[in-house]
Structure formats: C-alpha cells, structure tokens
A and B are shown apart, each in its own frame.
Chain A
Amino acid sequence: MWRRALDAAAQEHNVNIMPMTLQDKLAILSDAARYDASCASSGTSRRDSRDGKGLGSTEGSGICHAYAPDGRCISLLKILMTNFCIYDCVYCVNRVSSNVPRARFTPEEVVHLTTEFYRRNYIEGLFLSSGIIRSPDKTMEDMVQIARLLREREQFRGYIHLKTIPDAAPELIAQAGLYADRLSVNVELPTDASVAAYAPEKNPATIRDAMGDVKARRLASKDRSHTGKRPARFAPAGQSTQMIVGADGSNDAVILNHSARLYGDFRLKRVYYSAFSPIPDSSARLPLIKPPLMREHRLYQADWLLRFYGFGVDEITGVSAGGNLDLDIDPKLAWALAHRGLFPVDVQRAERETLLRVPGFGTKTVGRILTTRHHRTLRYGDLQRMGAGLKKARPFITLRDWSPGALTDSADLRARFAPSPEQLSLF
C-alpha cells in the first residue's frame, strides 16, 4: 500500500525537473558520491582481455588514475545511480528532506560512462551506490542490472564495487556478488543508538545480517563441491564498510571496538572512516564543523595497529584521555610513551611482536631486521637503509652502536614529537 504512494511521490518529483543532460546528471551524482571514502580497486582475481573479445584487466593492485586536490586517489568512477532517496538519514546529502537537485541515471547511461571512461584509461572500474528509490529491492535490482550489462553484454573485465542495499532480498545480493569484485554495506555510524537517532529507517540488525550473508556466500564460493567443481567466484575482492566519524558523540574507543568486531565477525577487508564533512543543504540537527581530518587519520593508523601489529583496542585507546586518540602524535608512539618501562628494546634480540611495537618500525622494516640479523650484527645505519623511521625509533631501541641513554625516560620526550600548538590550528 505504501509502495504505491511512494511511486506517486517519486513521479511527482520527476515531473518537477527539467530534462537533464548527461553532464548535469554526472555532476549531481558524482557530487553525491564523494562522501564514500573507498576508492580501492585492489586484490581481486586476475583478468585480462588479451583474447580480444572484451575490455579491461585487473592485476593485483589497482591503479590511482588521478588525484583530486583533496589528496584522494581517483581509481574508480564513483557515482550514485540516483540520489533520490526515500530515507531520511540526517548526515546524508541525499536524504528525502534535503533540497539538493536530484537526478537519476538510466542503466545504459552508467554502462556508457563506465566503458567510455575505461577505454580512455581514466579509471579502473565502477563503484556504484544509490539512494533508495521506491523500495530496496527495486534499487538493488537496477544496480545488479547495470553490473550484468557490463559483464555480459560489454564483456567488461575491469573492477566493479557495488554498495549493496541491506534491506534488499538475499537473491539480489547473491546475484550482485557474481558480477562484482567487491560488495559493501555501510554500517554508517558507530553505535546502534546513533543509527536509530540519525538514520531512523535503517536497522543495524539488518545491516549485520546483510554482512553475514555476504560472508557466508564468500565462504561457500571457496568450497569445492563433492564433484570437485568450483562454484562461481563471489565478490573475490571481499567486503568492506564505512563509518562516519564526528557526526555523533561516539569516542574513538567505541569506534575502534566496533571495527574490531566487524573484522572478527564478518572478515571484512577494510573498515573505512569518513570524517563527517559539511554537506550542501545540511540538516539543522548536525554540527557544521570542519571535517575532523586528523581524527580520521589517527583512526586509520589505529585500525592498522589492530590488524597488523597485534595491538588490542584497549591498549590503543587506554593511553589517552576520554577514550579518544591523541591527535598530536600517532597511536603507536602514544602507547610507547605510556609504557617506557618496556623500552629500550634490543633490536638484535627482541622478538617480532616486540619489534612491531617500536615507534617508527613498520612491518616491512621488522621483516628485514629479522632476516638480516641472522647473518650479522645490526647497526644504526642498517636500520636507516631498511626504511625505519629513526627519528621516532631512536629513544626506544638499542643497537651495538646506539644507546638512547637517558633519552627514553626524559620528561620532554612527548614534546619533541608533538607539533607546536600553532601548527595544530591548521587543521
């Protein structure tokens, strides 16, 4: 019953707008897509078009074909299918209550833009999301239709990322995963309470169900059946999600705990953090602040420590006030400064886990240390060549030809790393 009313509402919209050129639509529908942080196009199955019967290739790591003045990589054509939306998520430029101009691509238009941009070497592929028109199923159906046209009719072998609609029918998600390299469902906000407050039509449990469904299908697609036949690949580049930072009151501990759960429960490839940024025609209910870019940056660093350095959330967020990361220094350095008793570390002998905790040592550097120290005694100069950030590491390590002496415990150590307050105000 409500569906018919919504149809009518959507049509009422359409009559109100002038016919638009492809240029106009592209302007509106890429503007609306820029709040999605991900542009990754890496880590999918290898494909090419050497057979001369198709277009495109993917080989391991994706390529950034341009950079915008916001420093972000442009790898994919990142657009909305439509920015009409019947939901009213407060933080979103497309919410039903916003007055931004609306547009809607036909599936053919999206296919055209993707392949023509691809042929000119502008992009690695398509990242398609959408506002919700009429119903979640109808929206998802149209998105799947676009992916199908690309793969089957155009023989497109580049990268496709579809942002799935959590409320859509599981069969549609199942189809989406057969055409797409990556699927994502955005959790949007760090807590269920925030979702209820700011995205009232969304249901956190449904979002989690959708992620669980994608995970299950990915696992199933990796199992050989008893006949030894491999099922079709399902979203080979995995699934990811995005959380908006700074729109609600959640602190970094809440955010990172949520990420840790998501990585654990759904085997996500990435959690993206998107600093809440002022949007055209914003809602009166949200703070119109400069986007907290430094906070976003520190969250990415912390996320990295969780996944590759063996840190726990409590360790990272426990060393600064109020469960928020220190904005002035990176989270590993903050942790080390709070645990000076464990330092300095003997680089020649310390275990891998310990080395990973040294500020300025990345996983690559640690790998090089481990292989080289078998053969010989490491010196300060060796670390330099191995790519260690020695300005940071110096107070925390000892080597045959280096000892930090009293530096490790000196009272002004933090001040040496933190930027002066003037510099800080730049953000």
Chain B
Amino acid sequence: MSEWWTYSLRDLLLFSPRTYYRQFELYNLEWWPLQLVALALGIAVLALWRRGGERAGRAIAAILALCWLWVAWAFHGQRYASINLAAGYFAWAFVAQALLLLWFGGVRRRLTPASAPRVQVRAGLGLLLFAVLIFPLVAPLQGRNWTQAEVFGMAPDPTALATLGVLLLAGARPAWALYPIPAAWCLISGATLWTMDAPDFAVVPLAALLAVGLAAAARLEQAGAAQPGR
C-alpha cells in the first residue's frame, strides 16, 4: 500500500466489533459439541504434563499441532477469512506452527516436561489453566452471549496462550523456534481488539510478553550459572 505510514491501525480495521464477535458465535454453533472434545484435549495436555516423560511430551506436541491445524483450517480459513482479507496468511502461519510443533516436539522431543525455575513453572501452568479453563468465560464475563466463547483448540487466542504455557513448562532450555508465531499472533489479536476499543485488548499480548520474558530470563540465568567464574 502506498504511503502506508499515513495509515493508522484503525484505518485497516475491516469489520465492526459486533461482526467480529459474531464470527465466534457462528463458528461455535456450527461445530457444537466439538468444544467439549477440545476442552477434553486441553485437560489431557495438563494431565500429560503432570505425568511427565518423553512420551507425554510427544503426545502434547501432537495435540497442540492438531489444534493449530484445526484453527488454521476451520477458524481462519473457513470463518475469519469471510471478513478479514489477511486471514489466509494467518491460516498459513498456523499451519507452519503445527509443523514446527511436530518437528521440535514430536521428533526432537523438545516439549518433554522438565524442571525449570519455579516462577517459570508457575507462569506456564497459570497460562495453560487460564487458556483452557478461564478464557471461554471472557465473553460471558463481558456481558456477551456465552455462544461467543473462545475455546482452546478451536479459537486462536487460547490456543496460542496454551502453547506458550506448554513451552514454559518444557524446561529451562526453550525451543525458541516455537515462540515467534504464537507470540506474534497474540500481538496481532491484541491490536485487533485495541482498534475495536475492546476493554480486554491488553490481556493476550501481555500474557505472551510474560511468557517470552520469563523464557529469556531463565535462559540468561542458566547461561550465568554455566559460567561460575563470572
């Protein structure tokens, strides 16, 4: 676009808040009761993390990859694309994340639950619980219909947040390649909500920044500990 710098984010917003939230409603009605399966998958991720071990890590990677693929196709491709010209690109980014999860989590075993600094574990668990159990309540808490609930594994925001939570729980040596797409999505989503004047626009981007910050801090600490002379 020419003179792109003269455009504010608001100029690029294509739809009204009502139309945006309505997408979740139509999507949920279309796929009900798949939400229950998605919820069960979210709880399975939690259970697998508690169980620990390499097989659990690979199973978590497979579940997350499945969720990213689903969101790419069913949400971005089939639903969001009807009102957002950029949704096709989002879909491809979500497919890429699914492949990265399969490679780093499934093949390279980098999602194996592992010990990490306590604050990191707490944040990871907090993010995961928030994404799976609390996020669907955001719509009704804001006075919108519960049919607009955003569910882990089906809607992009909770799926990205849960993934960041899992990454924090996978130990102090982060699989950096798995961070950019979920973190970028969280920023895009926050920007979209901000242009729509949604009061909760900061929640998802801040959670993502917290995850990235904690992962970086743990890594630095680890590097410091490895060099006792300094």
The judgment on whether A and B are partners is: no
On A, residues with C-beta under 8 Å from B are: none
